[in-house]
Structure 1
């Protein structure tokens, strides 16, 4: 049984883009949790936050994590706040290796500034919000088995680092 590869980290660090490529390279199925929640609910993440609130969104995340934890051979790109809930972390770790993608706040800003679907960044100064949230979530991301900073690396360089770690630890051949 192939352990799932769970990509965690703040928005704009490359979880979805890198996750798709990693899944293709490994022959795994790719799941983006935000996209899966949108498909299940028929609403965008932004709509859920705006109409139903963050608590509703987090409950949708929990339901999805329960479903995914029973599967294997997945590369999962999580929403940035998914690991804030210990129950989610416990379920993800049951059959998964957690890899944290990090990036400097200024790099995250460049990557997300034109994206409208970032409800937690929709008010106030964008860079200040990014700095504040990344600091708040820093300890949550420390639960990762491996971490890589994507700020100045190409996709291939990041994927090679992840693949090397997975091979060294015996998760893949």
Structure 2
């Protein structure tokens, strides 16, 4: 079974994905790392050199063209489900799990590492919260298409495994 973790940057897709994959004895794939190894550059550098539209196109191509193992957990980029037909593709190729968190909780997690995030690097804390609120509103219709929604502040691996297996 392929499990695709979706949600806003900072919600824990990579951290939780590694734990979930280990618990299920599945492979773990981080789409951001896959992008960087395929593109031969960091996301930040690619984004700065080519712009967001080119980044989203390449991210979509990589998402859909990768040869995923039968059993894996995939941490997608925060915006990946929201472009082109990516969310439909995700739902047709595995079980999608939305890790949901409040804008304030996300901002607190993202503040320290914002320099690595092209969309946040020039924002102060209040602007980050506003940005997250706006982006979450834009992305809600995509994130809400997930087969499973889980609370990012109270993630429980055992409960999520049961939801995935018995959905």
Q: TM-score by structure 2 length?
A: 0.90
**Could you tell me how far apart the structure 2 residues matched to 1:76 and 1:132 are?**
25
The one of 160, 164, 167 aligned to 1:166 = 164
Aligned positions of 1:1-173 closer than 5 A:
3-68=1-66, 71-115=69-113, 116-124=115-123, 125-151=127-153, 153=154, 157-169=155-167
**Could you tell me how far apart the structure 2 residues matched to 1:27 and 1:128 are?**
39
**Could you tell me how far apart the structure 2 residues matched to 1:69 and 1:55 are?**
24
1:86 is displaced (CA, Å) by: 4.2
Structure 1 residue runs of 4 or more that deviate by more than 4 Å after TM superposition: none
1:149 is displaced (CA, Å) by: 1.4
Residues 87 and 142 in structure 2, CA contact (< 8 A), matched pair in contact too: no
Structure 2, unmatched stretches of 5+, are: none
Structure 2 SS opposite 1:99: strand
Residues 69 and 95 in structure 1, CA contact (< 8 A), matched pair in contact too: no
| Cα RMSD, aligned residues only | 1.5
1:69 is displaced (CA, Å) by: 6.4
Structure 1, unmatched stretches of 5+, are: none
1:167 is displaced (CA, Å) by: 2.6
Structure 2 SS opposite 1:119: coil
Q: TM-score by structure 1 length?
A: 0.87
